Amino acid sequence: MTAFTSAARVVTDAPARYATQLTAHLGHKLTVEAGPEGDRIILGAGSCLLRVEPDALTLEAAAADEAALARVQQVVGDHLERFGRRAGLTVHWVAAPAQPR
C-alpha cells in the first residue's frame, strides 16, 4: 500500500505533448497505464500519475517508501526537464504527509 506521496505542477502551454512524450519514452522500459484520471507510469515500488490541465502538467508521485518515492521523482522529473529544456520547464516536488499503511 502506498505510504508516501508528492506532487508537482509544471506550467506549460503544451501539457498534453509533454505527457505523451514522457509516456512514449518511458513506456519502452516501464509499464504505462492509461486511465480516466490520466496516464500512470509504474516504476517498481512507485508510480506517477500524469494529469493534463489546460495550462499545466500535474505529476502525482506515490511509493511504498521514501527511497522509491525519490526514484519516481528523479526519473519522471529529470526526463520532463530534459524534454522541456528549451521551454524552461522545471519540476518542483512538494511532499505530502506520510499516509498510514
Domains by residue range for the chain, with CATH: 4-95 (3.30.310.50)
Per-residue pLDDT of the chain (101 residues; tens, 9 = 90+): 558 999 999 999 999 999 999 999 999 999 999 999 999 999 988 999 999 999 999 999 999 999 999 999 999 999 999 999 999 999 999 988 655 55
How is residue 98 annotated by DSSP? P
pLDDT of residue 18: 98
C-alpha closest to that of 23 among 6, 44, 3, 39: 39
pLDDT of residue 91: 98
> Which set of grid coordinates corresponds to residue 17?
505533448
